[in-house]
Structure 1
Amino acid sequence: MMKLEGIMTALVTPLKQDGTVDEGALKALIEYQIAHKVNSLLLLGGTGEYTSMTMEERFRAVDITIKAVNKRVPLIVGVLEPGVGECLKFCKYCRQAGADAMLVLTPYYIMGTQDALVEFYCTMDREVDMPILIYNIPYRTNVNVLPDTVVRLTREMKNLVGIKECAAMSQAMELLVKVGDKINVLTGDEFSAVSLMAMGAKGAVMATANVVPDAWVKMYELVKAGEIKQAMDMSLDYFSLFKALFSENYISPLKYAMDKAGVPWGEAKLLPLLEAKDETKAWVDRELTRLGVI
């Protein structure tokens, strides 16, 4: 089974004001992340503004990123479609282009039962035939893949390699108990990431690693070395920064923080988001200064 351990940065997608991908900024961001030793990259997740882009620009982002990464780290591509048709289309494109795996969001709006979720992911498994991770983020989709359903999927899918779990910590713990030895259980929550990695999660998919990759790599390495108290202390030290970044829509504060830290990300494409509020920017500035990022 594909191993996905450590820190996976959920990349922002550098976009120009006209909605096109900023190729130079995307390549620079990839180089920055790899130079700072993150273990893998996620393109076009929620942080990557998948829903703000046309399908043609998503294709372009995939092509640019696959060529730029050049197999130096695993590249996972997100697909955030409400149903089967466009999901299959995009997954098949990414497979042909050379992506290592797909992170497939639970179908939303028309909310299926647990049996329907099993059939959905099994259909992806049969039709796409490449490594797949489940993306479970019920606080955004109102759809929750329950741990027992994941157990079923480990038996019925040949290409299931992991899950990005963004449900409650107790659910992530149940997943670790039931499937932690079968697939890569990755947390998508900054605030419980160190605790869950200490309990056995293989790693963390972190949006904030765009701006502080060194901190996340260090926290993961401390956990792996058994230095749990030190990792916890570091997590607490960064808590206020993460709280600031997630205090409103999170993508706008995150891109603001990247700009302040000199991390390449290109121009902003905010709609349907709004620019971060002045008080949020000031909070981010204080925390970046306190932590020595700027």
Structure 2
Amino acid sequence: MTQLAQNLQGSIVALVTPMFEDGSVDWKALEKLVEWHVAQGTNAIVAVGTTGEPSTLSMSEHTQVIQEVIRVVNKRIPVIAGTGANSTHEAIELTKEAHALGADAALLVTPYYNKPTQEGLYQHFKAVAEAVDLPIVLYNVPGRTGVDMTNETILRLADIERVIAVKDATGDLVRGKELIDALKGRISVFSGDDETAAELISLGAKGNISVTANVAPKIMSEMCAAALQQNQELAQEINHKIANLNNILFCESNPIPVKWALHEMGLIGSGIRLPLTPLAEQYRAPLRETLKATGII
């Protein structure tokens, strides 16, 4: 097991990509966000995961964001590059780029839209792992991709040397516990569902790859640390504090609410790219009130 595989844990933010109102990337805001996360105790950063809008970034923008996050982090915490695609060839090319730029690992989502079989999923991740010398974190989020990677397929993939972890965004705690138990520590499991993260960590997950951490990095880091230390009382106390936030940040498709919240906090501009649109008016006051109630603004 690599040193990264052993040490990767805690609160990992799935970072937004800040944009100006015209949709162009705001590089200064990105730098400030990264510095803020390091200062607030975020344990690692995912650059251009789902929350970073990879679907609407060009290939060059995608790799530029990864490069900039790596530059600013400057080896203080791990940087995991989102390099998933529904084309295996494209996923390999993006992962090669991330490796060349100095990413610590790659996060690869299950190929979306084309709905591969379980064998197709296995062969896809195997092909990437064999093509690029970079640790791989598998990412299963059936609610967004239209394909669900079974525990059996994940167990097969755990035999591949470069596969070090899986992000489970199913929100299914029974299934998550079964996976953790079956893996027996061969690879790490991370929650990809803020609402159930504390409980999954208590069951043996190593941390949370989080949307909520974008707006509450210190709180999420403290919750993950408490859960990892098996301090259930403190973990649940913190989790209760952010429960409404976890919920309202998904009132519309991610990252619409979280980008609006960060804009409201004065950390980023209002930009988001079509077909995503700014947060609907009816959700703005409730989200603002939740940010206030959580002590964020």
Matched with 1:165 is 168
1:267 Cα deviation after fit: 4.1
Q: Would you identify which runs of 4 or more consecutive aligned residues in structure 1 move more than 6 Å?
A: none
- How far apart are the structure 2 equivalents of 1:250 and 1:109? 18
Query: Tell me, what secondary structure is at the counterpart of 1:205?
Result: strand
1:79-129 Cα shifts (integer Å, max 9, x gaps): 231111211111111111111110011112222221221111111111112
Matched with 2:56 is 52
CA contact (8 A) 1:80 1:105 kept: yes
Say whether residues 1:273 and 2:276 are aligned partners: yes
- How far apart are the structure 2 equivalents of 1:17 and 1:288? 22
Amino acid at match of 2:204: G
CA contact (8 A) 1:180 1:201 kept: no
Amino acid at match of 1:210: N
Choose the corresponding residue for 1:231, options 230, 235, 244.
235
CA contact (8 A) 1:41 1:76 kept: yes
Matched with 1:39 is 43
Query: Tell me, what secondary structure is at the counterpart of 1:158?
Result: coil
Query: Tell me, what secondary structure is at the counterpart of 1:191?
Result: helix
Choose the corresponding residue for 1:285, options 266, 279, 288.
288
- Normalised to the residue count of structure 1, the TM-score between the two structures is 0.95
1:235 Cα deviation after fit: 1.1
The within-5 A match list for 1:159-198 is 159-167=162-170, 168-198=172-202
1:234 Cα deviation after fit: 2.1
1:18 Cα deviation after fit: 4.4
1:147 Cα deviation after fit: 1.0
- How far apart are the structure 2 equivalents of 1:253 and 1:228? 29
1:41 Cα deviation after fit: 0.4
Matched with 2:89 is 85
1:213-256 Cα shifts (integer Å, max 9, x gaps): 11111111222333202211321221112211111123121112
- Normalised to the residue count of structure 2, the TM-score between the two structures is 0.94
1:180-223 Cα shifts (integer Å, max 9, x gaps): 51112000001100000111100000011010011111111222
1:123-150 Cα shifts (integer Å, max 9, x gaps): 1111112100111101111211111111
The within-5 A match list for 1:194-213 is 194-213=198-217
CA contact (8 A) 2:212 2:245 kept: no
CA contact (8 A) 2:207 2:228 kept: no
Amino acid at match of 2:231: E
Matched with 2:245 is 241
**Identity, % of aligned pairs?**
32
Say whether residues 1:118 and 2:89 are aligned partners: no
CA contact (8 A) 2:206 2:228 kept: no
Matched with 1:218 is 222
Q: CA RMSD in A?
A: 1.4
CA contact (8 A) 2:17 2:25 kept: yes
CA contact (8 A) 2:263 2:270 kept: no
Q: Which moved more, 1:204-213 or 1:239-248?
A: 239-248
Amino acid at match of 1:124: V
Unpaired runs of at least 5, structure 1? none
CA contact (8 A) 1:186 1:204 kept: yes
